[in-house]
Chain A
Amino acid sequence: MSSTPKQHLPVRGGDRKPARVRPYSLTGGRTRFGHVLLVETFVASTAALDAPEERRELTNGSLSTRVMPELRAIVELCRRMRTVAEIAALLKMPLGVVRVLLSDLADQGKIRVYGTGTGHGTGRPDRALLERVLSGLRRL
């Protein structure tokens, strides 16, 4: 290792402009009905495993109650514990769209949204959780 850099590294802030206003708005991952759906939020189907009634209802609804194939696919995936990001990835759907559909399914009682374990999923992890993550990583 060389103690003095042989080449010149660019210095951050060397050409900084003063204004740093960011043009986005915070949605906070919260949906219309208050479900917090962060990328790592777990969701699972509420239907009993292999419940044929549930599936019939989902596939054979009348025009007004017909369920989009995307919703059916989500419920099917949620037979296992899944995260929001995982559902988006597996169904190749944008995260924002998955959030809306999950919110609808949760409102209909088809899926359950679990808390992430970090203060309703909004705050920073507390010390106890960080300690657990540290020891978990050390065990790897």
Chain B
Amino acid sequence: MHAWETDRTRAPIATKIVVAGGFGVGKTTLVTAVSEITPLQTEALMTEASEATDDLTATPGKTTTTVAMDFGRLTLDDDLVLYLFGTPGQQRFWFMWDDIVRGAIGAVVLADTRRLKDCFPVLDYFESSGLPYVVAVNHFDGSELFEPEDVREALTIPKHIPVMIMDARRRISVIETLLALVGHALDETPE
């Protein structure tokens, strides 16, 4: 346990990074690889958008559902705590992101080259919201290994935005991804 957890007289600075991507792309794996606590799960009660937006999973007649969101924590200093929030990537959850994304350093957009389309709506969201993001291709064992530039081209990612091939299971790989994001966010923040 860290000292800040029991000191109720002052709160540490809390900051956060959003990890977004389609189902099964490795968001929870990524959060688990670096979190100092067992990742926790919150649920947000949501009303589904009336328009069918992206896929066949929207159930006609169902008006509310719950969206699970995993999060983990990294104490970076006595008074500095970083939270990682893994959020579902489908377009119909966008309304929820506005809330999660507020005040965030930026987002890691996780992609799987076998299902690259799953991250299209996520990228659309971050492009229009202006939040700094990096693209992290979670390389799965046995899947074809692509060059970052091939992925950049397919996703039409501008040159200044980092695109990396990584392994969401490996702590070092995840930390490198987070470093790339924070570095990029710093580049995007005016002096």
Contact = CB atoms under 8 A, between A and B. Distances in A.
Interface of A: 1-7, 9-13, 20, 22-29, 38-42, 44-45, 79-81, 83, 85-86, 88-90, 92-97, 112, 114-118, 121-127, 129-134, 136-140
Interface in B12-56: 12-16, 34, 40-45, 49-51
B150 interface: yes
Contacts of A39: 16, 42, 71, 83, 85, 99-100
Given A81-B8, A134-B182, 14 more contacts: A2-B145, A9-B151, A24-B96, A39-B83, A83-B14, A86-B40, A89-B40, A112-B8, A114-B10, A118-B15, A125-B189, A130-B186, A136-B82, A137-B74
A108 to B, nearest CB: 17
Interface of B: 4-8, 10-16, 34, 40-45, 49-51, 66, 69, 71, 74, 76-77, 80, 82-83, 85, 94-96, 98-100, 102-105, 113, 116-117, 120, 123-124, 128, 144-147, 150-151, 154-156, 175, 178-179, 182-183, 185-186, 189, 191
A133 B76 contact: yes
A24 B98 contact: yes
Contacts of A131: 186
Contacts of B145: 1-2
Contacts of B50: 23
Contacts of A7: 144
A41 to B, nearest CB: 7
Contacts of B82: 133, 136-137
Given A7-B144, A137-B175, A117 B15 contact: yes
B4 A124 contact: no
8 contacts: A5-B146, A12-B120, A25-B95, A27-B99, A42-B12, A81-B5, A96-B45, A124-B103
A94 B43 contact: yes
A28 to B, nearest CB: 7
A44 B11 contact: yes
A99 to B, nearest CB: 9
A83 B14 CA distance: 9
Given A39-B16, A81-B11, A137-B175, A127 B156 contact: no
Contact of B5 (A80, A88, A92, A96): A80
A137 B83 contact: no
B83 A83 contact: yes
A12 to B, nearest CB: 5
Nearest to B171: A140
User: Which of B102, B175, B179: most chain A Cβ within 10 A?
Assistant: B102
